[in-house]
Amino acid sequence: MSVSSTVFLGTPTEKTSDGFEDTYLFDVIRVYKGDLASVTTVGTLANGNGCGTSYVLGTERLMFVSAPYDVDAEHEGYGCEPYTGTDFDVQAAVESVYGDGYAPRVGGTPSVGVSADRSAVIGGVAAVALLAVLGWFGWKRRRAQ
């Protein structure tokens, strides 16, 4: 618990993958450690590489995540995190340290996939390219006259 920057209870609802990295969209139910919106992304290395893991969509789980290092998501999840599939009540242990938790902030990441920063860059490049093409056609037209 102490090495995770964020601990929350949530449900994965979407998954995207580029073959190297899987990104999951989580509906956050309860926050125990950290500051989270009601929707967040968790990235993990695909195929179990370097402690990468997978999550079952629609299955609520207690998450121990950290700031992203190898992934393009708000948080990074690991298969090397505490195992929560035993009879030991991990959530009770978390609550004994952090209390009952609290509701997440309203809002969050709208979807899994291209991030807002990437979307802005792609849109900006497309706009510049369009202006360049229009300028070139205008220049060609003036030269022809």
**Strand (E) or helix (H) holding 7:** strand 6-17
pLDDT tens sequence across 34-70: 989 999 999 988 876 666 788 999 999 998 888 887 7
- Judge whether 14 and 24 are in contact, CB under 8 Å: yes
Q: Supply the pTM of this predicted model.
A: 0.67
Q: Residue 65, Cα to own-chain centre: how many angstroms?
A: 11
Task: Provide the pLDDT confidence category of residue 114 given band limits of 50, 70 and 90.
Answer: very low
- Measured CA to CA, the distance from residue 22 to residue 53 in angstroms comes to 9
- Judge whether 9 and 61 are in contact, CB under 8 Å: yes
6-112 maps to which CATH number?
Answer: 2.40.50
What are the residue boundaries of the structural domains of the chain, listed by start? 6-112, 114-145
Q: Provide the 8-state DSSP code for 145.
A: -
